[in-house]
C-alpha cells in the first residue's frame, strides 16, 4: 500500500515497557524544514511510549548520505539500543537522487547487520517538497512517528 493511501502516523499492536532502552537519532541537516519535523515526531512518539528524554540522544549530520556513518557511530556504542535515521532526498534533474538513495539504504542495512541492532530507515525519498511536507507532519502523517514505532517494535521482538 502506498503512503498516499495511508496515514503514516497510525499503527497497531502493543508496545511493551521499553523505558530502560536508549535511542540514538541521527538527523540530516539538509532539507532541515523537513527533517526537523521528522525528528520532533520521532521524539514525541518515543516519549508517548515511556522513553525518558534522557534516553533519546540526537546527532546531526550534514546530509542524508552521512546518515550511515552517524548510525554506525551510535550502533557501536553498547549504551545505544536502537538507532533512528531521519533524512530527506528530493528528486532533482540529475541522477544524484538515485545514487544517494541507493547508498543510504545499503549503508543503513549494513549497519543493522554489522551491529545486530535496529537501525531504522526514516528517510523520505520524494519527487518534490510538497510530498515531503505531506509525510513530515502533513496529510500523510509523520514518517518520524513511523520510524520511532518501528524502532520500538524491533526492540520488542523476542530474540
Which residues are known to be catalytic? Answer: 96
| Cell 526492540 -> residue | 155
**The C-alpha cell of 150 is what?**
518501528
**The C-alpha cell of 19 is what?**
523505558
**The C-alpha cell of 64 is what?**
542524508
What 3-state class would DSSP assign to 136? strand
| Cell 496529510 -> residue | 139
Helices 32-48, 143-156: crossing angle, 10 deg rounding: 40
Q: How far apart are CA 121 and CA 78, in angstroms?
A: 20
Q: How far apart are CA 89 and CA 25, in angstroms?
A: 18
**The C-alpha cell of 30 is what?**
539538509
Amino acid at each position: 500500500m502506498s503512503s498516499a493511501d495511508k496515514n503514516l502516523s497510525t499503527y497497531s499492536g502493543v508496545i511493551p515497557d521499553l523505558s530502560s532502552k536508549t535511542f540514538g537519532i541521527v538527523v540530516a541537516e539538509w532539507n532541515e524544514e523537513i527533517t526537523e519535523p521528522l525528528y520532533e515526531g520521532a521524539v514525541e512518539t518515543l516519549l508517548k511510549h515511556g522513553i525518558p528524554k534522557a534516553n533519546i540522544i540526537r546527532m546531526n549530520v550534514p546530509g542524508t548520505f552521512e546518515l550511515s556513518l552517524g548510525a554506525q557511530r551510535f550502533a557501536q556504542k553498547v549504551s545505544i539500543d536502537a538507532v533512528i535515521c531521519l533524512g530527506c532526498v528530493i528528486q532533482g534533474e540529475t541522477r544524484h537522487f538515485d545514487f544517494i538513495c541507493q547508498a543510504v539504504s545499503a549503508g543503513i542495512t549494513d549497519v543493522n547487520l554489522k551491529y545486530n541492532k535496529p537501525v531504522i530507515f526514516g528517510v523520505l525519498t520524494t519527487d518534490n517538497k510538497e510530498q515531503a511536507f505531506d509525510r513530515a507532519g502533513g496529510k500523510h502523517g509523520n514518517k518520524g512517528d513511523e520510524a520511532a514505532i518501528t524502532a520500538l517494535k524491533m526492540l520488542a521482538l523476542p530474540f
